[in-house]
Amino acid sequence: MQGNDAAAVRAAVVATRDGLVDRELIAEVVVLCAVAGEHLLVVGAPGTAKSEAVRRTAAQLGGRYFEYVLGRFTEPNEIFGPVDLRRLRDGVVEIETAGMLPEADVAFLDEVFLGSTAILNTLLGVLNERVFRRGGTNVTCPLRVCVGATNTLPEDPALAAFADRFLARLFVAPVADARLEELLETGWRSAATAGNDLLPAVDRLARQARDVDMTAMVPLVATAIRRMRNAGITITDRRAVRAQRLVAAAAVLDGRTVATPSDLWVLPIVAPTADTQALAKDALADMLTSAGNDGLVYAAEEFSDGVQARDRRLAETAEKLLATLGDPTSQDERLRVEATLREIDASIASTDMSEQLKGVRARLILAARP
C-alpha cells in the first residue's frame, strides 16, 4: 500500500509541476509538509506565483481548500467564520465554520504576518494542535498543511514565536531570464485540473512517516544540527526535534520505511533565512552527497547541491523533453535537445552519471541529429 500511495502522490506532484515555471519547489515542499504534518512559509515579492503554486498543489491533492489575504483590518470572522446569530440569541457564542479555515484540508494565508493579535493567537491553536477554539466552539481541524506567505520576514520580535510554527521555509525570486519564454508560454495555459482525492493516501503516508525507522539517523541529525548552530544558524530545540518529521516524510515519499542519509537534504529547509539556508548547505555539504528523492527531485537538488539529486532531476527533465518531441525532430526541438545535453554535460561528469541518465543522454544525442 505504501508504494502505491507514494507513487500516486508523486504523480500528483509531477502533474502540479507541469505548468509551474521555477516554482516546482513550492509544489514539492507543500506535499512534503503535508505528509510531515508541518507548515510552510514562502517568502517572496508580490507576483511571484506563490498562491498559484499552492492552489495547483491543493487541486491535485483534493479536499477543501481555503485561501485568504490578511490585512491590518482583517476581522477574525473572515478567517474562522461568523458568530451564529441564532445561538447568540440564547446567550451562546458559537462560530459557523463551514467553508472557513477551521474546516480546510489545505490552507494558504497571504501576508500572514499582517493578521491582528486576535487572529494570530487563534491561528497558533490551529497550527499547533489542529484545534479551533472560540467561545463555545471547539472544532478539530482536518488541516494537513498551512502555507503562509509574506513579502519579507518580520522584524518584530513579538512575531518570532508565531513564525517559528512554520517549520519549512522557501525563498522565491522572479523567474530567471533564461526561462522567460517558458513562463510566457505556460501563462496562457489553463490552470491544472483537479486530481483524484489523494488526501487518504497523504494521511496513510503521514501515519507511516510516524513509524519510519530513524535509528541510524538520530546521531546524523544531531551532528547536522550541531554543525548548523556552529555556523551561526539559530535552530530552536522545537525546530531541531520537528525536523525529524521532514526526514521521515522524505523517506516515505521515496517509498521507504527506513530513513537514510539520502533524506538529510530536508535539513537546510528549517534554517530561518535565505542566507542561513545557504550556510546550512555549505556546513552539511559532505553529509548531503547522497541526497535524492524520486518524487521531490527539484527540492532534493536545491537543498543539497548533491550529484545524485542533480542526476535524478536531469534524467526526469530529459525524459519529459523526449516525450514531447515530434517525429522527425524539428530544428527548434533540436535546439532544446542540445541545450539539455549541454546542461547535463556541464553538471555531471560522465563517470558519475547513473545508468538512467546515461541512457536518456544517448537518446537525446539521437534526437539531436538532423
> What confidence tens digit (pLDDT) does each residue in 63-111 have?
999 999 999 999 999 999 987 767 666 666 678 889 999 999 999 999 9
Compute the average pLDDT of residues 323-338: 84
Give yes or no for residue 254 having a pLDDT over 50.
Answer: yes
Give the rounded distance of the alpha carbon of 265 from its chain centre. 13
pLDDT band of residue 140 (cuts 50, 70, 90) is: very high
pLDDT at residue 89, rounded to an integer = 62
3-state secondary structure string across 85-145: HHHHCCCCCCECCCCCHHHCCEEEEECHHHCCHHHHHHHHHHHHHCEEEECCEEEECCCCE
pLDDT, average across residues 331-339: 84
Residue 124 has pLDDT above 60, yes or no: yes
Number of residues in the chain: 370
Nearest to 302 by CA among 8, 15, 29: 29
At residue 188, the pLDDT reads 47
Q: What is the mean pLDDT of the chain?
A: 88
Q: Of 96-105, 123-132, 173-182, 310-319, give the lowest mean pLDDT range.
A: 173-182
pTM, 2 dp: 0.84
Banded model confidence at residue 2, pLDDT cuts 50, 70, 90: low
| Band of pLDDT at residue 182, cut at 50, 70 and 90 | low
pLDDT of residue 327: 81
Count H helices, E strands: the chain?
16, 7
Instruction: Kindly state the average pLDDT of the residues 271-281.
Output: 95
Q: Which residues contact 71 (CB under 8 A, 6 or more apart)?
A: 111, 114
User: Which has more confidence, 48 or 198?
Assistant: 198
Per-residue pLDDT, averaged over 359-364, amounts to 91
Quote the percentage of the chain above a pLDDT of 90: 56
The yes-or-no verdict on residue 174 having pLDDT over 80 is no
pLDDT(350) > 50: yes
Q: What pLDDT was estimated at residue 219?
A: 97
